[in-house]
Amino acid sequence: MTEQSPVTQTNATHVAKSPDAQVVTAVRHYTDSLFSFRVTRPASLRFRSGEFVMIGLMGDNGKPLMRAYSIASPNWDEELEFYSIKVADGPLTSRLQHIQEGDHIILRPKPVGTLVHDALVPGKRLWLFSTGTGFAPFASLLRDPETFEKFEQVIVTHTCRDVAELTYGRELVESVKSDEMLRELIGEENLDKLVYYPTTTREESPKMGRITHLIENGELFSDLGLPPLDPATDRAMVCGSLAFNLDIKALLEQAGLREGANSDPAEFVIEKAFVG
């Protein structure tokens, strides 16, 4: 007997018949624990850059197995992009990691989330703090012209254990800086308006350390030639593991920034990245 693919024929057929089925148009693997993929976008789906939706596959019990995923593509894109971890024993990602072009996934077209411009009051600088796949909502926001219209400067930090885990974010920032429309918005003379600050914590790289540590010891600000966080000028969005989010939240609150929400915008917003 040949080994069955984790996305079994029966499941694939079930998914394809679901009214929420979308077709996978591209898949790219970055490391043995990270991949991104693109799917068709339902014509009716409108979302704000930074929001998430529920996506999944049909479980072996015939019930959909769904998880929250940040949409990594901007709201003007005709397809949807997602950036995911692969967890060997993760109920969904152990199977999702095997999807291929032409396969179907289930996507509930009900976007929600707090990492949106509406949840922040106006400011001068926007800080996007991420670890691991927490970069995904920022991949959406960084491709949205509104982000550069609203702020004089946008700084995105990405902390991963190893250098290869930074690839998705690094390429995304490079693509923004070379995109004609976004280049114009950022300003040809002023491409520094978008600042990328990658760090690693385990593998050697030009900048090492947890971003929380680099905030505390002031290195982040001295490296960038910027003043410390100030509620009068700085806004922040945070996306990473629970522990990371809690630590950054404490630092932001210490600096005098308040947490905002869609119904009550303030100086920073937080959301947990997909954890498995």
Q: Is 247 in the site for ligand A2P (CB under 6 A)?
A: yes
What's the closest the beta carbon of residue 173 comes to ligand A2P, in angstroms?
18
Site pattern 121..150 for ligand A2P (x: CB under 6 A): ----------xx------------------
**Pair of tokens at residue 164:** 């290869």
Q: Is 243 in the site for ligand A2P (CB under 6 A)?
A: yes
Q: How many CA atoms lie within 13 A of 50 on its CB side?
A: 26
Residue from the set 28, 170, 210, 249 that interacts with ligand A2P by CB under 6 A: 210
Q: Does residue 207 contact residue 199 with C-beta atoms inside 8 Å?
A: yes
Q: Does residue 83 contact residue 72 with C-beta atoms inside 8 Å?
A: yes
Residue from the set 8, 31, 201, 233 that interacts with ligand A2P by CB under 6 A: 201
State which residue, 103 or 247, has the beta carbon closest to ligand A2P.
Answer: 247
Q: Does residue 188 contact residue 194 with C-beta atoms inside 8 Å?
A: no
Residue from the set 244, 257, 268, 270 that interacts with ligand A2P by CB under 6 A: 244
Q: Does residue 90 contact residue 274 with C-beta atoms inside 8 Å?
A: no
- CB count within 10 Å of CB 199 equals 21
State which residue, 183 or 210, has the beta carbon closest to ligand A2P.
Answer: 210
Residues 3-32 that bind ligand A2P (CB under 6 A): none
- CB count within 10 Å of CB 187 equals 12
What's the closest the beta carbon of residue 246 comes to ligand A2P, in angstroms?
7
If we measure between CA atoms, which residue out of 45, 40, 43, 46 comes closest to residue 21?
40
Q: Is 159 in the site for ligand A2P (CB under 6 A)?
A: yes
Which helix (H) or strand (E) element contains residue 223? Answer: helix 219-224
| Interface ranges with ligand A2P (CB under 6 A) | 131-132, 159-161, 201-202, 210, 212, 241, 243-244, 247
